[in-house]
């Protein structure tokens, strides 16, 4: 999944953000599992995924508090 800017994420509906979050968490789990059994071609994927997850969680938290 390509990295998205926070402005583009804020334009999405809450349901879409929650769905994206679920997909990213699942991808991160699968990538972590694969890392235990084989070499990962791009280890920077972990950083990008972690930051995307945090970005989406931040936006969801902002909406919840508003």
In order of start, what are the domains of the chain with their CATH numbers? 6-65 (1.10.287)
pTM of the model: 0.87
**In whole angstroms, what is the distance from residue 55 CA to residue 7 CA?**
11
CB 31 within 8 A of CB 40: yes
pLDDT at 7: 87
Residues of the chain with pLDDT under 50: none
- The string of DSSP codes covering 23-58 is HHHHHHHHHHHHHHHS--S-THHHHHHHHHHHHHHH
């Amino acid at each position: 999944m390509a990295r998205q800017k926070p402005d583009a994420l804020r334009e999405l509906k809450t349901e879409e953000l929650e769905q994206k979050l679920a997909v990213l968490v699942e991808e991160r789990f699968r990538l972590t599992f694969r890392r235990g059994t084989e070499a990962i071609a791009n280890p920077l994927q972990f950083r990008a995924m972690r930051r995307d997850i945090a970005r989406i969680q931040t936006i969801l938290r902002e909406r919840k508090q508003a």
